[in-house]
Amino acid sequence: MTRPTGLLLRSYLVAAQAIPLAAPGLLRRRLAKGKELPDRWREKLGEAGLPRPDGPLVWLHAVGLGETLALRGLIVAMAEKAPGVEFLVTSTTRASAEVFAANLPPRTRHQFLPLDAPGYLRRFLDHWRPSLSVWAEQELWPGAVVATAARGIPLALVNARMNDAAFARRHRWRRVFADLFRRFGLIAAQDPETARHLSALGARDVRVTGALKAAAPALSADPAALGQTRPALGDRRRILLAASHPEDEAVLLAALTSLQPRPLLLIAPRDPARGGEIAVRVKTLGLTATRRSLGQGPTGDVWIVDTFGEMGLWYRLCPVSVIGGTFGPTEGHNPWEAAALGSAILHGPRTANFTADFATLAAAGAALPVTAVTLPVALTTDHAPMVGRATALSAAARNGLAPLVDALTAAYCPVVATSSLPDWQKSAELRRFTLQVAADVSPAVAAVPMPDVAIVWATPVGTSLVARQPTSIAAKLTCPANDGKLVPKDLADKAVSLVGKPTPPLAGAAVAQLATTLSQQNPKARLSDVANALISAYCPLVVAQAGNSVAEQYNLLTGFGQQVVQTLQLQAPVTASK
């Protein structure tokens, strides 16, 4: 475990202990304003709203709607590579939860990230027990990162994006970021600029892997809504202003007034609550508008589609999309959602938040930059060739996820992937991880209580056994007492005599011989008791060996325990497990 070394990070973690004093009241006020989901707001207090699935679990976190949706392509690729893995996605905004629910990848569920208080995080991690934690873009919560690393859970930062302005805001806190980054086994940036900024903040070995948003699958659309809406639109030419802000709306509405015949302009505001405000603005320009949120159809000059979770519908129905945020200080939104669904991409001059994305599209002739002057002509042009190029880029991005997926797969075994430890320790960590996965995938194992021990331990399954792991590595390795409470005392005494006082680590063949001998000498003993007697006898030898860290001691004992369990599993009746 890497401990917080900087004063700023230590100070934050101390201050975070006071979050529960204000959190419930704050969340209830947000609930009253409609900013939290009534049946899920307590997830932000660390209370799980869903059961944990069986098997290894990858936890991915992104802050908001766009960032969360961008994770879908990565999850699909990881799910294909690791069929037994389940996925948990956390985010912080209500919109991200509602829209993601309609676009869930396979074997995936969503929860809200708890507030950054130790108790909330402990409750969350105790329930979900992730095997890998993946953080996306710029969202890092110090308490959650430190708590996750303290449990020995590998951490990865992917799809990192940081322009000059974002770097300038974070530079004064570079010591905090350096403290956090050293806990990550993998850091992957969208572009070289971001990689340089992350390195300047203390990140090491930053990889450039491209943007996940380009690789995200197409947004879904409700078939019934699609079937109802397409006929209502008729043959009118349709233009979508996607994720709009006031500056974008001013430019598009001005262009619309100059066109004859007028196309139907669909405005999908970034904040749907602005629907009424936009309708008033449309009316002042002498245009007519209807609002979908009020149940009104596309009967005017402008249809304000002020609803959540329907962008997949609008991209499918509109052959041309103008990307919002590109005519004002927002500096752009994700253009790849339009590309994946075959809607031509037009955008204004301000794209600093997605510089690399728009540059990639421009280099391939897959997007068209416009100004207020050139926009009217662009809205009446056939962009079919440009659409084909954008769709091809989107498909290529999805096919190019393999290197990042391989890197995340390697992050399951961070000691192997990133450390300079001796080979035997790397091997022990691989064995430890494999054991945890093997134990978690069996519902029968979950039904057997794990005793209150802080080391590897064998639990019975039928007449066989499996090895189990403690939740985290303790600050000090503590061996079970030989008092007969966990292991029959006579069996434990025989194990101590049989093991003797060798110097760890023992060769695999020697460990297998110990397991076989003790089992044969005690044929009526449960195999799990035989294993735990040997583990308990070997534990003091590991603790007594000088020069090893707690993690090294843990790896030594886990490697021994796995070999014992594997040997005894081969002796169990093959029909015993139900």
What are 353's two structure tokens?
């938040």
Output the CA torsion 531→533→538→541 (10° steps).
170
Helices in 19-117 by DSSP H: which ranges?
19-32, 65-81, 94-101
Task: Using the Cα atoms of residue 402, residue 404, residue 406 and residue 412 in order, give the sign of their dihedral.
Answer: negative
Strand boundaries in 307-373, DSSP class E: 320-323, 344-347, 368-369
Reading the block at residue 484, the tokens are 């007969």
**Residue among 483, 446, 444, 450 at smallest CA distance from 464:** 444
Give the contacts of 109 (CB within 8 A, at least 6 positions apart): 50, 53, 86, 87, 88, 89
Contact 244, 332 (CB under 8 A): no
Q: How far apart are CA 516 and CA 510, in angstroms?
A: 10
Provide the pairing of β-strand 464-468 with 457-461: antiparallel
- Residues 272, 93: contact at Cβ < 8 Å? no
CB 295 within 8 A of CB 316: no
The span from the CA of 28 to the CA of 43, in Å, is 13
Residue 248 three-state SS: helix
Q: Report d(CA 191, CA 209) in Å as an integer.
A: 7
The answer to whether residue 67 is catalytic is yes
246: number of Cβ within 10 Å: 14
- Across the chain, which distance is largest between two alpha carbons, in Å? 96
Which among 543, 551, 550, 562 has a CA at the least distance from the CA of 458? 562
Burial status of residue 410 (CB atoms within 10 A of its CB: 0-12, 13-18, 19 or more) = middle
From 30, 137, 159, 48, select the one nearest 93 (Cα to Cα). Answer: 30
Spell out the residues 6+ positions from residue 223 whose beta carbon is closer than 8 angstroms to its own. Answer: none
The residue from 36, 43, 47, 67 that is catalytic is 67
Number of H helices, E strands in the chain: 25, 16
Distances (CA, A) of 52 to 87, 113, 132, 441, 467: 10, 15, 15, 12, 20
By CB neighbour count within 10 A (0-12 exposed, 13-18 middle, 19+ buried), where does 434 fall? middle
Which of the residues are catalytic? 67
